[in-house]
Amino acid sequence: DSGVTQTPKHLITATGQRVTLRCSPRSGDLSVYWYQQSLDQGLQFLIHYYNGEERAKGNILERFSAQQFPDLHSELNLSSLELGDSALYFCASSEGGYNEQFFGPGTRLTVL
Amino acid sequence: KNQVEQSPQSLIILEGKNCTLQCNYTVSPFSNLRWYKQDTGRGPVSLTIMTFSENTKSNGRYTATLDADTKQSSLHITASQLSDSASYICVGGANYGGSQGNLIFGKGTKLSVKP
């Protein structure tokens, strides 16, 4: 158990809908990262937050947004969903800097 | 373009044997090289993290090497166990103003250890 929690574990929705994925980092970790892993693809970095502020953006679509709250939990919002958005979405946390990232169990999103 | 390539794509070995996984990376500005183990459907677990000045790092039966000149890394697994069956992911870290957010992931090598 990495200490990072993600909810929900599974999510099935229809095209055009909007969903919110939630992540709680390990106690004391200030950094939260979001990743997308499509079938048979490598993990793609989406976005990094540190202590409530956005620090880096990767291949994140404009339809996707994220935020980190004062209690350090983070939410990833996905809107106008398309079939291609079906993937595993992972959250990871770290103390910051170049420290090890601890990954959560992921949320499996299926868009029908 | 930043990228990480791994070989082989998949590998089958017998329990108790050793194996070596390869990684070639093009990451700039390069900061660190990581290896993760990912069981199917689960989050990756960190095995090693090496900065550009480190040549080797071990974690139990896992030993990673790094050659920053040739931009190559390898992960050696000794005396394999059935529980080593997983995907092993090589990750290049780029240094962007103190944020390690720009991690470039390889597609992984899928290792199957057979009894």
- Confidence (pLDDT) at B101: 58
Question: Which chain A residues are Cβ-neighbours of B106 within 8 angstroms?
Answer: 42
What is the average per-residue pLDDT within A73-96? 95
Biggest CA–CA distance in chain B, Å, is 47
pLDDT of residue B58: 96
Chain B residues in contact with A100 (beta carbon < 8 A): 46, 49
pLDDT given for residue A41 in this prediction: 78
- Residue B100, min C-alpha distance to chain A (Å): 6
For B59-113, the pLDDT digits (tens) are: 999 999 999 999 999 999 999 999 999 999 999 988 765 555 578 899 999 999 9
pLDDT digits (tens, 9 = 90+) for A50-64: 999 998 888 899 999
| Residue A26 burial class via C-beta count within 10 angstroms: exposed 0-12, middle 13-18, buried 19 and up | middle
Q: What is the mean pLDDT of residues A92-109?
A: 88
The confidence score (pLDDT) of residue A42 equals 82
Least Cα separation, residue A20 to chain B (angstroms): 19
Contact A76, A23 (CB under 8 A): yes
